[in-house]
A and B are shown apart, each in its own frame.
Chain A
């Protein structure tokens, strides 16, 4: 019966005396482990040493602002529709007079939440967004959680800070740094 395509050569002939003594085989094995004892260790001492991320790494989400610091998201909901894990929810609101410096479009997301336990970091929200508002940062990992309520990221943690602009990783498509 053929179950897989893998095969390994085996030997069913009776063992010789040398094999039944075990000692040559044991000595051989101990030699191998001793060699590994002095080998270079494979461990990377995180957090002191960090492995470089891939340029297309999909990390923690960020809601971008434009050059004048206005939020780009227009609460169109396309990201939520695109999201296979149904991790995104939002509430839309209308921009009032005098808020033009806060929101770029007339409609904006009053609430915008991503459930990081549901999210699979596929990046489809980033691709769906027509306003180039949501991005998965190539240099930040979603943090670990201690409590359930830390899992849902609201706008307070998603919208980028003006004094700490996020990298979007857009250069992976355009070659232009954002």
Chain B
């Protein structure tokens, strides 16, 4: 088979899977929310409510598509389109698996392999905030604009810490290509084992970048009605909501690649050798790749579940808390992490970033032990 054709098939498959997972994330979100709140969740449309996303999409399409009279019409349409477009672009550089052998040629299970993959992801993700910004501005509504401004400033603040935590990874891998980073974590040698602090910082920033609870201030209902999408209806609103789920998928995938080993899993070499010896070179290799891809998707799905789990556990931050967490806590910690990682690389002690975690935990324990006993006052309410 023509390698180009295989590549095209891979691209279409990745596109389709991204959309499928995002679609079913909306269902899963409602199910997870329901289960956490001791409810059943959607269970009428199809078996276990599995047709619910289709029903929702149908509903969205048949709603009135309303454009406010004072809105800037073209930008109003452009906003959600841009949000959707950038969300879909992010998964292009993610390596979903090792290579497959087709007709004697090795083809990577990845839409495009660029040697600056992580920069590409970063750029595309920061473009995503323009979709929100444009939509909020074009609505010509104060609340929408406030939501959009919040989104923009929040993304800028958290991009710093996120970039710094990625730099620590780059120091260790020495490459900007996501595939190279993933391959550097062969077997169970995952980056999270060396970058605990970086992982926590990255995860927190990923939540903020996706505008997910506890950082969903741009669409904070209690303060801003609906936030940046207050004026939106019908499928334009659907695009915004859907883009959020695609972003969630993309950031789970990036997290899995950077910290959780991508398509690597412990004892993968033994599995691969066993498969090759029993199924032959070509089939064995391809089956081993498929297993790796499945492992990768399991990690992504767990990531998405984690996003939802956090959303239905934590309340929303206040805006000043959000800013002080970003600027006063995460950025200094990320810088510390970079310094420690650099020192670790220099001294060939890769575990050095653990030092920060150990010190913080020790300080916390000691200080908690020495703190004066809590005095509970009774306050009338």
Contact A9 B378 (CB under 8 A): yes
**Which B residues are CB-close (under 8 A) to A8?**
378-379, 381
Residue A96 at the chain B interface, CB threshold 8 Å: no
**Which A residues are CB-close (under 8 A) to B314?**
26, 29
Residues A43 and B40 in contact in the complex (CB < 8 Å), given A23-B200, A30-B310, A33-B313: yes
Contact B368 A42 (CB under 8 A): no
Residues A10 and B309 in contact in the complex (CB < 8 Å), given A18-B365, A41-B38: no
Task: Name A21's contact: one of B39, B310, B313, B364 (CB within 8 Å).
Answer: B364
A-side interface size class = 20 to 34
Give residues 1-54 of A contacting B (CB, 8 Å): 1-4, 6-13, 16-18, 21, 23, 26, 29-30, 32-34, 36-37, 39-43, 45
Contact A36 B364 (CB under 8 A): no
**CB nearest neighbor in A for B367:** A17
Residues A7 and B376 in contact in the complex (CB < 8 Å), given A42-B38, A45-B40: no
**Which B residues are CB-close (under 8 A) to A18?**
364-365, 367-368
Contact B376 A11 (CB under 8 A): yes
**Which B residues are CB-close (under 8 A) to A26?**
310, 313-314
Contact B367 A7 (CB under 8 A): no
**Which B residues are CB-close (under 8 A) to A42?**
38-39
**CB nearest neighbor in A for B365:** A18
**Which A residues are CB-close (under 8 A) to B312?**
33
- Nearest-CB distance from B313 to chain A (Å)? 4
Task: Name A7's contact: one of B32, B37, B365, B378 (CB within 8 Å).
Answer: B378
- Nearest-CB distance from A26 to chain B (Å)? 7
Q: How many residues of B contact A (CB 8 A)?
A: 30
Contact B381 A6 (CB under 8 A): yes
- Nearest-CB distance from A108 to chain B (Å)? 47
Contact A10 B37 (CB under 8 A): no
Contact A17 B377 (CB under 8 A): no
Question: How far apart sit A4 and B376, CA to CA, in the bound complex (Å)?
Answer: 20
Contact B377 A30 (CB under 8 A): no
Residues A29 and B368 in contact in the complex (CB < 8 Å), given A3-B380, A17-B363: no
**Which B residues are CB-close (under 8 A) to A21?**
360, 364
Question: How far apart sit A33 and B306, CA to CA, in the bound complex (Å)?
Answer: 12
**Which B residues are CB-close (under 8 A) to A17?**
360, 363-364, 367-368
**Which A residues are CB-close (under 8 A) to B381?**
4, 6-8
Question: How many inter-chain residue pairs (CB < 8 Å) link A and B?
Answer: 81
Interface string of A66-81 (1 = CB under 8 A from B): 0000000000000000
Task: Name B309's contact: one of A3, A23, A33, A45 (CB within 8 Å).
Answer: A33
Task: Name A11's contact: one of B32, B309, B377 (CB within 8 Å).
Answer: B377
Question: How far apart sit A34 and B40, CA to CA, in the bound complex (Å)?
Answer: 15
Question: How far apart sit A3 and B380, CA to CA, in the bound complex (Å)?
Answer: 8
Contact A36 B367 (CB under 8 A): no
Residue B374 at the chain A interface, CB threshold 8 Å: yes
**CB nearest neighbor in A for B200:** A23
**Which A residues are CB-close (under 8 A) to B368?**
16-18
Task: Name B313's contact: one of A12, A30, A43 (CB within 8 Å).
Answer: A30
Contact B40 A16 (CB under 8 A): no
Residue B358 at the chain A interface, CB threshold 8 Å: no
Interface string of A123-144 (1 = CB under 8 A from B): 0000000000000000000000
- Nearest-CB distance from A74 to chain B (Å)? 48
**Which A residues are CB-close (under 8 A) to B377?**
9-12
**Which B residues are CB-close (under 8 A) to A36?**
35-38
**CB nearest neighbor in A for B40:** A43
**Which B residues are CB-close (under 8 A) to A13?**
371-372, 374-375
Interface string of B303-344 (1 = CB under 8 A from A): 000000110111000000000000000000000000000000
**Which B residues are CB-close (under 8 A) to A40?**
38
Question: How far apart sit A178 and B277, CA to CA, in the bound complex (Å)?
Answer: 81
Give residues 140-165 of A contacting B (CB, 8 Å): none
Interface string of B15-35 (1 = CB under 8 A from A): 000000000000000001001
Residues A41 and B378 in contact in the complex (CB < 8 Å), given A30-B309, A33-B312, A33-B313: no
Interface pairs (25), CB distance under 8 Å: A7-B378, A7-B381, A9-B377, A10-B376, A10-B377, A10-B378, A10-B379, A13-B371, A13-B374, A16-B368, A17-B363, A18-B365, A21-B360, A26-B313, A26-B314, A33-B309, A33-B313, A37-B32, A37-B35, A41-B38, A41-B39, A41-B40, A43-B38, A43-B39, A45-B40
Query: Shortest 8 CB-CB distances between A and B: which pairs?
Result: A18-B364, A9-B376, A17-B364, A43-B40, A33-B313, A17-B367, A33-B36, A18-B368
Chain A residues within 8 Å of B, Cβ to Cβ: 1-4, 6-13, 16-18, 21, 23, 26, 29-30, 32-34, 36-37, 39-43, 45
Question: What 4 additional pairs, Cβ within 8 angstroms, besides A33-B36, A42-B39, A43-B40?
Answer: A7-B379, A7-B381, A37-B36, A41-B38
